[in-house]
Amino acid sequence: MSSPSKRREMDLMKLMMSDYKVEMVNDGMQEFFVEFRGPTESIYQGGVWKVRVELPDAYPYKSPSIGFINKIYHPNVDEMSGSVCLDVINQTWSPMFDLVNVFEVFLPQLLLYPNPSDPLNGEAAALMMRDRPAYEQKVKEYCQKYAKPEDAGITPEDKSSDEEELSEDEDDSGDEDILGKPDP
């Protein structure tokens, strides 16, 4: 790469091309939001989070800052700030990694394999170690309460396609009513 800014631009484009919804802040490439979905076949499945990403001037040589905007119940995510405790982002970051790695590997791994011995959310860590079923239930409750698509700020155009499907269904049911009545 010729410069950190070119690399930032390429990584951001690669992330957008990987079907992630990305919302830029202030027309710059330093700060943006990414829609992140809980891993399939996990207790986070179905959850949708808005994740704030801030790229330092020295990116990719310095790691991005990552934080959940809507609430998530996890031992390694601070419930109030959304800050993430993840070694690969905080301590062992390498310029070989990119933004797609963060959303396709690092965050899914964090959700699938929490580390209660290095918590940012002490309550979640204690509950996970003490009563795993109660912990899993609380995770699912948080997903239902705070991690619906609208909580992640999905754009209205995504919702309109659902509304169109509903209106088509309504039209079909109207036809059935007309067809189902015998002529006088």
Please list the active-site residues. Answer: 85
Q: Tell how far CA 94 is from the center of its chain.
A: 22
Cα dihedral 178, 179, 183, 184 in deg (nearest 10):
-40
Instruction: For 36-91, give the secondary structure using H, E and C.
Output: EECCCCCCCCCCEEEEEEECCCCCCCCCCEEEECCCCCCCCECCCCCEECCHHHHC
Tokens of 87: 């070694």
Q: Which residue, 57, 64, 51, 55, is CA-closest to 23?
A: 51
Q: Which residues pair with 84 in a beta bridge?
A: 77
Q: Tell how far CA 35 is from the center of its chain.
A: 5
